[in-house]
A and B are shown apart, each in its own frame.
Chain A
Amino acid sequence: MRNLIAAILTFTSGAALAQEATPAPEAAPATEAAPATPNTDERVTNTEGKVASIEEQLAEIKSILSPLTKLKFSGYVQARYQWEESREDGTGGYSRFLVRRGRLKATYTGDLVQYMLQIDAVPTGVTVRDAEATLFIPGTKQNMSVTLGQMKWPFGYESVQSSSDREFPERTRVVRAFLPDERDRGVKYAGKFGFFRLGVGLFDGNGMSYPGSVGVDNDKEKDFVGRAGFDLKWISGGVSGWYGHTMGRGAGETYRHAHERSRVGADLQVYLDFLPIGATAIKGEYIKGKTYVSNGAELLDRQASGWYALLVQNIGLTNAVAVRYDYFDAATGIPATAAAPGSDRPAGTNAIGTIGATAIHYFGENLKLSVTYEHPMTATVAGVKDPRDNLLTAQLQARY
């Protein structure tokens, strides 16, 4: 109750004070003179001040945004429908949708430095494809560089070509065998001297697919990989080499020891412009080597070789067709055999030649549709059939 009375007294005294504080109405202000219209000089001065202020703000914004212009994001998604025919005995064959590649790449390029990180995010997982730091050698206008990290091996043509630029959905068998996933950890020097190109590096050698040691090396052996090439615009090519060792235990060996892992290769690309419907390109590559990874196992000292030839014809601005023949002998020097005595299937070491054709349509600069049909022909012996394994791939690629 006492609180209530106190509150009432407080309220009434406040109201009284408020009434006392109300000021007496003031006399009406004298009529002010209408503001004078600014003359031209004043308006120019005001405008110049505003422009100077805007320029100052613009300079500040530019200094903030300038580094961002050096950072670029790019990427692409390859979504597919694939159909493979079934074999005579009902095995093999499939019809499926898949996301083959989902790449996201961030690149920062400064005057002396380049950073690049590329990931591949697909339904089966996310993997780091490239993680590299590059120093452009000062005074060379970015024509010479040293790169450290995980990057592509400087070998051949098809292995370093972006999957988003390739006409066929997958690389050839020989490239997939000798340069699986195309990447490794190491250090690389790249240089351009006029039309001459040089790329050499020292790498772990195991790449990204070596069984049991993805991302790390399991030995002290290092592999030297390099390519010396030329680029005269309408014709380019080069020779590549790889020499190194891998620690492993071959058949009948008690202890691991270093086995030679080597490759040699040559590639050539010719760009012609003689047909009125569009340009024509002819590309080819040959690789021969020893020791490679197949079906999750490193085949020590195994000799293999292969080659491909590719013809691409552009038709107008938005269409292209291509034909490719690729040949891979998984065990050079070993004649074709059956998978097992009495089997009507060929052995896994038999040579395979694949003829393929593809049609490509570009829906503008960001979207590409390709339909590819491939017919593999496996070497056979009497009583052994070439398996039915033709493959149709329809791919829609979106990139930015």
Chain B
Amino acid sequence: MKNFIASIAAVLLLALPGAARAGTVTVKGSDTMVILGQRWAEEFMKKNPNTKLQVTGGGSGVGLSALINGTTDIAMSSRPMKEAEGEKLRTRFNTTGTEISVAKDGVTFYVNEGNKVDALTQEQLKGIYLGDITNWKEVGGPDAPIIVYSRENSSGTYVFVKDNLLNGDDYTSSAQTLPGTAAVVNAVSKEKNGIGYGGSAYAKGIKELKIKKGNEAIAPSAENIKTGKYPLSRDLYFYLRNKPAADAKAFIDFVLSPEGQALVTKVGYFPVK
């Protein structure tokens, strides 16, 4: 019996060093945030050469899943953690996790530069993404079918649009899913009848739609997003299992510092401080 207990103890002790990853902080998740995360990491590592930061994308869902599974230290997410995800984190790690808002963003709808439509109401956008509106002429555009581009369901932006624009309903089955915001922008810039969405940081080479509210057309400008006037603005988050400590805390302190927040503006998002 003593030998048996000793064997079990040996297995546990041998496994312990695997948990230690001193000096390396892994950051994973939102594709919307990946460029921002990389810029933060580059600047941070210049100042702290002994700390290694690994930043990868995959989508908010992938990042939060990695946090729950213990395979990343920080999850980047462009949406708040879902209740079910919080429950999984609590079940596995007995923790409620830590949520830190690190930047702000507006979900922007893009159309081709040649499209004469400049602004749409949220109801019209909803109609397009649910498949109820299928021709541009129904919303004041040319007589041409609307080619709808969307993100994959692991994307936080996908979930944000579904929850905040579509009221939880499913996207039209004709929506073409693309693996990243850059791919959506690229597709819309080439498809004259296309419409897509993503973070404002990527909105280059295409036209950003304004959101019509009454007689006003609200542009996804820095001011409108910061003040919340633009209706589809959101926070971008870091999630950790526990309170930040050691290298992860140093990195987050940098992210929230004036220098880190200045990078937010440079990349094209909006600071939280």
Contacts and interface: CB of A to CB of B under 8 A. Distances in A.
Interface stretch (B29-37, B92-100, B201-209): B92-100
Interface in A263-314: 271, 273, 276, 278-281, 312, 314
A35 interface: no
A365 interface: yes
A394 interface: yes
Contacts of A55: 176
Contacts of B96: 233-234, 271, 273
Contacts of B90: 233, 271
Contacts of A115: none
B174 interface: yes
B94 A312 contact: yes
Interface in A359-392: 359, 361-365, 369, 371, 392
Interface residues of A, number: 36
Given A55-B176, A66-B173, A361-B11, A314 B16 contact: no
Contacts of A392: 5
Nearest to B71: A365
A242 to B, nearest CB: 25
A247 B184 CA distance: 66
Nearest to B1: A83
Contacts of A312: 94
Interface in A170-203: none
A271 B19 contact: no
A365 B69 contact: yes
A371 B5 CA distance: 9
Interface in A300-333: 312, 314, 316-320
A140 B11 CA distance: 48
B92 to A, nearest CB: 8
A279 B170 CA distance: 37
Interface string B1-14: 10011001001100
B70 A318 contact: yes
A361 to B, nearest CB: 5
B229 interface: no
B91 A279 contact: no
A271 B70 contact: no
B93 A278 contact: yes
A314 B176 contact: no
Contacts of B19: 316-319
Given A55-B176, A271-B90, A361-B15, A279 B95 contact: yes
Interface stretch (B105-113, B121-129, B239-247, B250-258): B239-247
B148 to A, nearest CB: 12
Q: Which of B5, B94, B173, B174 has the most CB of A within 10 A?
A: B94
A273 B12 contact: no
Contacts of A314: 93-95
A165 interface: yes
B168 interface: yes
A62 interface: yes
Contacts of B94: 271, 278-281, 312, 314, 320
A111 B5 CA distance: 50
B18 interface: yes
A369 B70 contact: no
A59 interface: yes
A220 interface: no
Interface string B166-202: 0011100110100000000000000000000000000
Contacts of B245: 276
Contact of B70 (A62, A83, A281, A362): A362
Given A271-B95, A365-B69, A278 B8 contact: no
B86 interface: yes
B25 to A, nearest CB: 13
A279 B1 contact: no
A234 B5 CA distance: 35
A115 B173 CA distance: 23
Interface in B63-93: 69-71, 86, 90-93
A364 B69 CA distance: 8
Contacts of B1: 83
A141 B168 contact: yes
A39 interface: no
Contacts of B241: 279, 317
A19 interface: no
B242 A273 contact: yes
A316 B94 CA distance: 12
A12 interface: no
Contacts of B92: 165
A276 B246 CA distance: 10
Contact of B242 (A279, A320, A359): A279
A359 B9 CA distance: 10
Interface in A115-165: 141, 165
A63 interface: yes
The 7 closest A-B pairs by CB, nearest first: A279-B95, A281-B94, A365-B69, A316-B19, A233-B96, A279-B94, A318-B19
Given A111-B169, A278-B93, A316-B19, 16 more contacts: A58-B176, A63-B173, A233-B90, A234-B96, A271-B94, A271-B95, A271-B96, A273-B98, A276-B245, A312-B94, A314-B93, A314-B95, A319-B12, A320-B94, A364-B69, A369-B12
18 contacts: A59-B173, A59-B174, A63-B173, A66-B173, A83-B1, A111-B170, A165-B91, A234-B96, A271-B94, A273-B98, A273-B242, A279-B94, A279-B95, A279-B241, A314-B93, A359-B12, A364-B70, A369-B12
